């Protein structure tokens, strides 16, 4: 059997592992739009968290197994289409993640200086689609980060790191220079609900208190009466109370964590000059309900981190409301709610953008179990055209250059080699040209 796994993030790799380990083993083509694998492990997880990024070693071991091929720089929707995959493979697993962000839908959201956290994260991690962005950090005195999850904390922390803290990471050189040259004095994180409802986890919250260059401030009044909902919120509250009791040490930057506030407008004529916040109260279901009380906070930059969202693929069912592919435990459901034979999904595009890297293992394994069950029950159509060469021939015909796994290995070696000299894990290649050139010797060329 030959299966196409679309997307090389954690869900794609865990799906591949389950397929390659099946009895009899299944051949896997992992199709990825970037020349580099690992999805958000390379391009989302914060660069100052190398331990978390090191899960990529497990992905490398999966890629070494017989029957695995990486087809990088191949985008489904551009170079290959759903109909091609259905024709050329016994089954397809979509694990394309959540490629965009949710908006706040408030006035001023499109002013220059108002950004999605996604954009900053992709930029500092070296995503080749985001290297042209200029956040004008040098102009910023106060930055507002909207959201109360771990991504919001990543953004707050990355902007507060000192040159010494950033130096040993694989943050791109341009981002290190821009963050170190920024004029930022204060970073305000604004959470819609209370401290007990915040989605961030305690180790990430506690890390803020250990930063060399930033004091963390919390208004004790915003913690008053907070009732923990579970162990995570109990531990969060403990850490927050610790912050509220601290005397600022006069470090160069201040991080303010503010609760019960939502932005209602981003203010400014030509660019962001401030945000208007409304104070919220919680109703009996712990939903934020705005009061009439408003305040204005001057700032030069706003990053919204209010959730990621999946993007529809042509010809593949999509639920606009949840931003996911409709599915039953990973079996993709067609318009009548019936499973589409041979079409599956896993990871963020299956269940929405939540959970840690490991959550995708159980999720992708569940999908593959159903796929194998369907194969064993004869529910997959016979695919006489499903040969290993057919897809490469088609891509060559369409003029697509494919970065094979050896091409990625060449990129990886170049990056690690450049990093080694500087005591950094890697120096990322982050433009399409640099990546393709480094991979060139190990790419297929169009016929």
Q: Which residues bind ligand FAD (CB under 6 A)?
A: 6-12, 31-34, 39-40, 44-45, 49, 52, 75-77, 95-97, 99, 121, 151, 154, 308, 313, 347-348, 355-357, 360
Cβ-proximal residue to ligand FAD, closest one: 9
CB of 138 to ligand FAD, least distance (A): 24
Closest of 167, 48, 87, 99 to residue 312, by C-alpha: 99
> Between residues 70 and 348, which has the closer beta carbon with respect to ligand FAD?
348
CB of 8 to ligand FAD, least distance (A): 5
CB of 145 to ligand FAD, least distance (A): 12
CB of 30 to ligand FAD, least distance (A): 9
> Between residues 25 and 355, which has the closer beta carbon with respect to ligand FAD?
355
> Between residues 276 and 318, which has the closer beta carbon with respect to ligand FAD?
318
Which residue is associated with the tokens 């990825």?
Answer: 32
Residue 276 CA from chain centroid, whole number: 28
CA atoms in the 13 A half-sphere facing the CB of 33: 17
CB of 102 to ligand FAD, least distance (A): 12
Neighbours of 243 (CB within 10 A): 20
User: Tokens in use for 349?
Assistant: 């595009």
> Between residues 256 and 357, which has the closer beta carbon with respect to ligand FAD?
357
DSSP 212-253: SSEEEEE-GGGTTT----SHHHHHHHHHHHHHHHPPP---SE
> Between residues 128 and 274, which has the closer beta carbon with respect to ligand FAD?
128
> Between residues 147 and 347, which has the closer beta carbon with respect to ligand FAD?
347
DSSP 8-state assignment for residue 446: -
Distance (Å, whole) CA 275 – CA 268: 9
CB of 328 to ligand FAD, least distance (A): 18
CA atoms in the 13 A half-sphere facing the CB of 244: 16
Please, which residues have CB within 8 angstroms of residue 385's CB and are 6 or more apart in sequence?
Answer: 87, 88
Closest of 189, 260, 191 to residue 225, by C-alpha: 260
CB of 241 to ligand FAD, least distance (A): 25
> Between residues 206 and 265, which has the closer beta carbon with respect to ligand FAD?
206
CB of 362 to ligand FAD, least distance (A): 12
User: Tokens in use for 257?
Assistant: 């964590």
CB of 400 to ligand FAD, least distance (A): 12
Question: Would you call the peptide bond into 44 cis, given omega within 30 degrees of 0 as the criterion?
Answer: no
The backbone torsions φ and ψ at residue 153, rounded to the nearest 5 degrees and listed phi first, read -65, -40
DSSP 8-state assignment for residue 76: B
Cα pseudo-dihedral 18, 21, 25, 28, rounded to 10: 50
> Between residues 163 and 203, which has the closer beta carbon with respect to ligand FAD?
203
Closest of 190, 185, 83 to residue 137, by C-alpha: 185
CB of 421 to ligand FAD, least distance (A): 27
How many residues are given for the chain?
Answer: 447
DSSP 8-state assignment for residue 80: B
Distance spanning both ends of the chain, measured CA to CA: 27
Distance (Å, whole) CA 158 – CA 176: 10
CB of 75 to ligand FAD, least distance (A): 4
> Between residues 187 and 357, which has the closer beta carbon with respect to ligand FAD?
357
Distance (Å, whole) CA 68 – CA 72: 13
> Between residues 224 and 314, which has the closer beta carbon with respect to ligand FAD?
314
> Between residues 54 and 296, which has the closer beta carbon with respect to ligand FAD?
54
């Amino acid at each position: 059997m030959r299966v196409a796994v679309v997307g090389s993030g954690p869900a794609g790799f865990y799906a591949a592992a389950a397929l390659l380990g099946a009895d009899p083993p299944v051949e896997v083509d992992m199709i990825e739009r970037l020349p580099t694998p690992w999805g958000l492990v390379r391009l989302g997880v914060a660069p100052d968290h190398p331990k978390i990024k090191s899960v990529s070693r497990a992905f490398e071991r999966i890629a070494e197994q017989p029957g695995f091929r990486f087809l990088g720089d191949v985008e489904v929707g551009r170079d290959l289409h759903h109909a091609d995959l259905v024709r050329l493979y016994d089954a397809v697993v979509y694990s394309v993640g959540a490629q965009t962000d949710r908006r706040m839908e408030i006035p001023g959201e499109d002013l220059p200086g108002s950004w999605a956290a996604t954009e900053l994260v992709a930029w500092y991690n070296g995503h080749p689609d985001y290297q042209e962005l200029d956040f004008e950090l040098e102009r910023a005195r106060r930055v507002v980060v909207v959201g109360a999850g771990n991504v919001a904390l990543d953004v707050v922390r990355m902007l507060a790191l000192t040159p010494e803290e950033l130096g040993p990471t694989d943050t791109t050189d341009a981002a290190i220079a821009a963050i170190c040259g920024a004029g930022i004095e204060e970073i305000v994180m604004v959470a819609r609900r209370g401290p007990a409802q915040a989605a961030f986890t305690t180790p990430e919250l506690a890390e803020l208190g250990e930063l060399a260059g930033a004091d963390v401030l919390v208004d004790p009044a915003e913690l008053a009466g907070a009732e923990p909902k579970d162990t995570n919120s109990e531990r969060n509250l403990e850490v927050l109370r610790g912050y509220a009791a601290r005397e600022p040490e006069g470090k160069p930057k201040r991080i303010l964590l503010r609760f019960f506030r939502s932005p209602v407008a981003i203010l400014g004529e030509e660019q962001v000059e401030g945000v208007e916040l409304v104070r919220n109260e919680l109703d009996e279901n712990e939903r934020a309900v705005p009061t009439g009380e408003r305040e204005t906070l001057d700032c030069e930059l706003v990053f919204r981190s209010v959730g990621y969202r999946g993007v529809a693929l042509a010809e593949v069912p999509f639920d606009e409301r949840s931003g996911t592919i409709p599915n039953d435990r990973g079996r993709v459901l067609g318009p009548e709610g019936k499973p589409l034979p041979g079409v599956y999904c896993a990871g963020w595009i299956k269940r929405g953008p939540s959970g840690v890297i490991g959550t995708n293992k159980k999720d992708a394994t569940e999908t593959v179990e159903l796929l194998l069950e369907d194969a064993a029950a004869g529910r997959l159509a016979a695919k006489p055209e499903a040969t290993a060469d057919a897809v490469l021939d088609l891509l060559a015909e369409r003029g697509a250059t494919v970065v094979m796994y050896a091409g990625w290995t060449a990129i990886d070696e170049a990056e690690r080699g450049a990093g080694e000299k500087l005591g950094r894990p890697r120096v990322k290649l982050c433009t399409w040209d640099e990546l393709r050139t480094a991979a060139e010797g190990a790419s297929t060329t169009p016929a």
